[in-house]
Each structure stands twice: as structure tokens, then as C-alpha cells.
Amino acid sequence: MDDCAKACVEIDRVIAEYPEYVNKNAKADKRVYGANNASTLVDEFAKNEELLSIASAYNRKTTTTAFTLAARMPTSVDNQGSGEGWHRDAFLRQFKAILYLSDVGPKNGPFQFIQDSHLGSQIVQDVKNGNLKYMQYRIEEEKIARILANKSDRLKTYTGRAGTLILVDTSAVHRGKPIQAGTRYALTNYYFPTDAIDQSMYEKFDVLPRT
């Protein structure tokens, strides 16, 4: 069994053994923040030195993996996909590493991203075109359509085999496309400048403590 398949088994185990830490706000997928604290294999991904180096370079500050999100998304009726629809995580940098653990095709809930939507000048234009509110984090489908009306090629969809790694600034508008077939497994490292990590962050995400 390869590492991706082993990690899928680990996600199933963590979800089963720590039901109190399965996020209550996620409707489409089962997700546990801090799965790295309960799985040696997931922790290896969290502590990957090359990814930490890239994250620090992008943030221009010493950066740490605050926690790793483990997610299992089965096909369900009328789901909005991972993340519950189009949104941005912040209006400042939010670097993440997303690792597909299962093959992800167009129908398996691939990650989608609106190019340049994290850049200041583009944010202003998107707010105007989409008729968005000030500091709006979640964006309805019809407003996304307005934003993309004249530049549909800004919409990027990332399919890939198990083991595909996506490095992304999720201050850009993104989502997991609503899943139509199969079950998608993925790990996501949440990177923050080391001096920005505190207990309130773990409480906010209800992070599974180290076992």
C-alpha cells in the first residue's frame, strides 16, 4: 500500500476515533483539524522541511505548520463542495499546501481557484464587477459569474492523480467543486508566521490536540 492509500486509511481512523473533533460547520465533507497530532504519517506531511521553506519564503517570515486538515468528501445530494462554496480565507496572505490522496477528476470535487483574485488591484475590480460587499468572504454563484463574465479563463480547475500537490494562497477566491462521483481524500497544511500562532487559533478551529 502506497503512502497516499495509507493516509486515506489514517483519515478514516482519525474520523472514527475522534468524532468530537469532526468539524460541525462542514456539511459536505468530514474534516478534522489537527489530524497531524493523531497520525505519524500525516505529521510527516505537516513537518515537510521543503514545504516549510517555501511557506517561509512566500510569507517573508519564519513560518510554521499550525495544523493539518484531514478531509474525506463523499458524494452527496446538492453538496456545495469542500469549503461550502466560493470563498476566500482572508484578505492577507494565507499559504496552504493541499495534497490529493485519491485520484481527482472533474467529477471528484477538484480544487478551483480564480486567478489573481488575491491581488489588491484585482480585488477592487472584482468587488465592482461582482457587486460585492466590503470585506465579503463568501461569494454567491451568480456573483462569481459576473466576476468571470469577461475573463472566464481566470477560473482554474486542478485535477490530478493521488499524490498531486497544490501550493496556493487561499486569500484568493476558491472552493472545492461540488463532488459528483466517488470519495475525495485530501490533506491540507495551514501555514502561519510562527509569531502569529497562539492558543486562540487552535480554539477557533477546534484543533485536535496531540495524543
**How does pLDDT run across 69-116, given as a tens digit for each residue?**
999 999 988 787 887 889 999 888 999 999 999 999 999 999 999 999
pTM of the shown model: 0.93
Strands (E) in 75-163, as ranges, are 95-100, 111-114, 155-158
Q: Which position has the higher pLDDT, 25 or 205?
A: 205
Q: Residue 28's closest CA among 100, 67, 81, 96?
A: 81
The pLDDT of 62-68, averaged and rounded, is: 97
User: Which of helix, strand or coil describes residue 186?
Assistant: strand
State the pairing for strand pair 95-100/63-74.
unpaired
For helices 141-148 and 120-130, angle between their N-to-C axes, nearest 10 degrees:
120
Q: What are the structural domains of the chain?
A: 3-194 (2.60.120.620)
Confidence check: pLDDT of 23 > 70: yes
The CA-atom distances, in angstroms, between 40 and each of 15, 44, 110, 180 are: 15, 6, 26, 31
Residue 157 phi, psi dihedral angles, 5° rounding: -120, 125
In the chain, the percentage of residues whose pLDDT exceeds 90 is 82
Confidence of residue 199 (pLDDT cuts 50, 70, 90): very high
pLDDT score, position 27: 75
Is pLDDT above 70 for 1?
no
**For 147-184, how does the pLDDT look when each residue is reduced to its tens digit (9 = 90+)?**
999 899 999 999 999 999 999 999 999 999 999 999 99
As a whole number of angstroms, the distance between CA 97 and CA 164 comes to: 10
